Amino acid sequence: MLKLSLTASGLLDKSSFDAWSRQKQAAIHKAVATGMHSGGKTVADTVRSRMNADFTVRKPAFVRSLRAKVYDRNPDKLPALLIGSKIPWLGIHMRGGTISGRMLIPLTEEGRRIGRRAFKRVIDTLIRSGNAYFIRKNGQAILMAENIKENASVLTRFKRAERSRTGAKSIKRGTEIPIAVLVPAVSMKRRFDLEGTVRGQMPVLARAIEKQLTKI
């Protein structure tokens, strides 16, 4: 999340605000908050467009999670604008870094992903069928499953990935199929610049606020 204050951003001098009368301060406070509400919507829309460009979005709710919220309850302080999402894992994509702890990384076809819940259902189904086991290959622990009729539906995407990797036209019954690799940690590159996108929209926010201030 990114919280913008007018004083820190240089859009308004706090000393000038403090010099006004209480009545004038209240009018300015209201005008700034109104400008932030309207300008914040435009900024949020721009950030959502950036999210659509930077991520493979499968669920619209992911993009809609990005919100603009104005904090204006304290009359003695200028309002502030918060741009962010409550989705916890978005932060690692903004900063980059390493996620520690043993994790299963799905071995799906390149460019195709599987959601966490869907992947968990696959693993649960395979375990219930007794069709999930690890092998050691090239120093890595690989979760495997046999291509059996009982698990045909949950193995579809993994069979497709295996055909893509090997060039095989089909996967025979009983063939071992790689499902996931067990890793101790995952390094993530920074792929979403929330701060840069928001700061690039500061002129838009400034114009929205100035428009309201001229009405005082």
Please write the tens of the pLDDT for every residue from 122-157. Answer: 999 999 999 999 999 999 999 999 999 999 999 999
What was the pLDDT predicted at 90? 87
What is the C-alpha separation between 162 and 158, in angstroms, rounded? 6
pLDDT higher than 80, residue 97: yes
pLDDT higher than 90, residue 82: yes
The whole-number average pLDDT for the span 188-206 is 91
What is the C-alpha separation between 40 and 33, in angstroms, rounded? 10
What is the C-alpha separation between 97 and 8, in angstroms, rounded? 27
Mean pLDDT of all residues in the chain? 88
What was the pLDDT predicted at 77? 85
pLDDT higher than 50, residue 8: no
Q: What is the pLDDT of residues 59-68, one digit of tens each?
A: 889 999 999 9
pLDDT higher than 70, residue 5: no
pTM of the complete model: 0.66
Contacts for 176 with CB less than 8 Å, ≥ 6 apart = 135, 144, 145, 146, 147
What was the pLDDT predicted at 2? 60
What was the pLDDT predicted at 58? 79
